[in-house]
């Protein structure tokens, strides 16, 4: 089981690697493809909607093919998507490979999060998502090396090579996953799916909506952070990519720290604490700006750190283990739809007005998340 856990940690790096590529590369990428800057949101939403769609079907896929095979073949899809994007010469070339990338990412996301929430403690959930943070932080850093020469395509291809090595590791470890599943007495992946009543299940709807607010708050800096820094802080694209990676580094650091205290504080308190730190980081960006933006971005990321893994880890306790794969998928699918619809709207408004609105939008999303989280706690903690 220890060897499998190590493999899962590595796979979480694979899960994070592609997530920030569009945002970090876009200041250069849109020029080479002769596309308006505002279309960054369009392609990010295509990936996101594909990712979200998989959330609603992942429970059935996991039951049919198992966690290991679902994970392995999903990574293959992300490799195809990343490579295809790197060879695209226009918008029509980006669209199909963005869809493939999103489908692969969505299947991995739900599959691994459900598996870990069932089989491992909350500290591992946080540390595993820190490794996702390592992956999503590494993506812009790899790209920044090539962006100096405007060569975003080579950065994409390097990421695809890394993904391929991780995928090979999963294929070589298929038997290890089966052993862990067989040790679980109440194995949800063996049960038949049932219809989930989103409006009738106590606390489920506000829980989904709260995760949507969080995902929107996280997605906007990932996709638009570099553009915000170019327009508002007047940074060059390569420097902006490095500064924007501080938000991602903050997420990773927050999850590392959370892993050491999550067993003591438990998921509910971790979510509350994270949201307050988020708000602090947003206020630093909003009030001080300039070089202080680096501190604000890091603190915003640090606050984000424990929230997503804590919400997902708490799903089996809140709503039961029998349908945890399906409910996890509903959370992630619905939340992603909400998040990237918000991101699309933000991109349209910011490019037509000014990116100065970004911290104010983030503040509204943070307050809405706090309100919804209070509501779901009142219902489910009775």
For 239-293, write each residue's pLDDT tens digit: 898 888 899 889 889 999 999 999 999 999 999 999 999 999 999 999 998 999 9
| CA–CA distances in Å: residue 154 to residues 69, 151, 325 | 29, 6, 36
For residues 163-184, give the mean pLDDT: 82
At what angle are helices 122-147 and 237-287 packed, to 10 degrees? 130
| pLDDT computed for residue 181 by the predictor | 63
Does the structure show a pLDDT above 70 at 121? yes
- Indicate the fold that domain 2-184+199-380 takes in CATH: Growth Hormone; Chain: A; (1.20.1250)
pTM over 0.85, yes/no? no
Does the structure show a pLDDT above 70 at 206? yes
For residues 180-206, give the mean pLDDT: 63
For residues 338-348, give the mean pLDDT: 86
Does the structure show a pLDDT above 70 at 382? no
For residues 311-331, give the mean pLDDT: 85
| CA–CA distances in Å: residue 244 to residues 66, 156, 227, 241, 298 | 37, 18, 9, 5, 9
| pLDDT computed for residue 195 by the predictor | 63
| CA–CA distances in Å: residue 297 to residues 113, 130, 243, 286, 289 | 26, 17, 8, 11, 10
pLDDT over 90 percentage in the chain: 47
| pLDDT computed for residue 198 by the predictor | 63
Does the structure show a pLDDT above 90 at 168? yes
| Cβ atoms within 10 Å, residue 164 | 17
Does the structure show a pLDDT above 80 at 126? yes
Contacts of 185 (CB under 8 A, 6+ apart): none
Tokens 């509910």 locate to 268
Radius of gyration of the chain (CA): 19
Does the structure show a pLDDT above 80 at 323? no
| pLDDT computed for residue 188 by the predictor | 47
| pLDDT computed for residue 185 by the predictor | 43
- Weakest mean pLDDT among 33-42, 152-161, 334-343: 33-42
For 46-99, write each residue's pLDDT tens digit: 887 898 899 888 888 888 888 899 999 999 999 999 999 999 998 888 999 999
Q: How confident is the model at residue 319 (pLDDT cuts 50, 70, 90)?
A: confident
Q: Measured between alpha carbons, how far is 382 from 379 in angstroms, rounded to an integer?
A: 6
- Show the tokens assigned to 187: 């194995």
| Cβ atoms within 10 Å, residue 380 | 17
Q: How confident is the model at residue 307 (pLDDT cuts 50, 70, 90)?
A: very high
For 287-296, write each residue's pLDDT tens digit: 998 999 999 9
Q: Measured between alpha carbons, how far is 69 from 359 in angstroms, rounded to an integer?
A: 41
| pLDDT computed for residue 42 by the predictor | 79
For residues 313-326, give the mean pLDDT: 83
| pLDDT computed for residue 15 by the predictor | 87
Instruction: Tell me 88's DSSP state.
Output: -
At what angle are helices 21-32 and 237-287 packed, to 10 degrees? 130
For 213-236, write each residue's pLDDT tens digit: 999 999 899 889 999 999 999 998
Chain-wide mean pLDDT for the chain? 87
| pLDDT computed for residue 197 by the predictor | 64
| pLDDT computed for residue 182 by the predictor | 57
Q: How confident is the model at residue 190 (pLDDT cuts 50, 70, 90)?
A: very low
Q: Measured between alpha carbons, how far is 339 from 216 in angstroms, rounded to an integer?
A: 4
- Show the tokens assigned to 378: 């009142």
Contacts of 319 (CB under 8 A, 6+ apart): 201, 203, 204, 327
């Amino acid at each position: 089981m220890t060897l499998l856990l190590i493999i899962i940690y590595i796979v979480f790096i694979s899960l994070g690697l592609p997530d920030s590529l569009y945002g970090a590369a876009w200041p250069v990428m849109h020029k080479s493809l002769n596309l308006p800057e505002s279309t960054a949101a369009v392609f990010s939403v295509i990936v996101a909607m594909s990712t979200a769609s998989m959330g609603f079907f992942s429970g059935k896929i996991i039951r049919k093919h198992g966690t290991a095979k679902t994970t392995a073949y999903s990574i293959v899809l992300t490799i195809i998507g990343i490579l295809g994007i790197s060879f695209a010469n226009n918008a029509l070339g980006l669209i199909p490979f963005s869809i493939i990338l999103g489908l692969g990412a969505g299947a991995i996301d739900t599959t691994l999060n459900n598996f870990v929430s069932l089989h491992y403690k909350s500290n591992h959930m946080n540390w595993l998502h820190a490794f996702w943070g390592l992956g999503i932080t590494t993506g812009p850093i790899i790209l920044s090396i090539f962006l100096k020469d405007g060569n975003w395509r080579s950065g994409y291809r390097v990421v695809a090579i890394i993904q391929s090595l991780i995928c090979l590791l999963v294929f070589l470890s298929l038997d290890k996953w089966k052993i862990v599943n067989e040790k679980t007495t109440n194995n949800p992946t063996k049960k038949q799916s049932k219809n989930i009543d989103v409006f009738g299940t106590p606390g489920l709807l506000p829980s989904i909506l709260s995760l949507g607010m969080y995902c929107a708050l996280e997605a906007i800096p990932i996709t638009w952070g570099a553009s915000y820094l170019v327009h508002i802080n007047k940074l060059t694209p390569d420097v902006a990519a490095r500064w924007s990676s501080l938000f991602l580094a903050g997420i990773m650091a927050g999850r590392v720290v959370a892993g050491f205290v999550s067993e003591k504080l438990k998921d509910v308190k971790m979510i509350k604490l994270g949201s307050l730190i988020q708000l602090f980081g947003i206020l630093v960006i909003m009030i001080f700006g300039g070089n202080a933006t680096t501190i604000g971005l890091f603190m915003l990321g640090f606050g984000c750190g424990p929230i997503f893994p804590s919400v997902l880890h708490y799903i089996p306790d809140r709503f039961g283990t029998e349908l945890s794969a399906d409910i996890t998928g509903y959370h992630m699918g619905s939340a992603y739809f909400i998040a990237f619809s918000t991101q699309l709207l933000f991109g349209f408004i910011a490019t037509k007005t000014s990116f100065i609105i970004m911290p104010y939008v983030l503040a509204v999303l943070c307050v809405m998340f706090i309100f919804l989280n209070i509501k779901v706690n009142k219902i489910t903690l009775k």
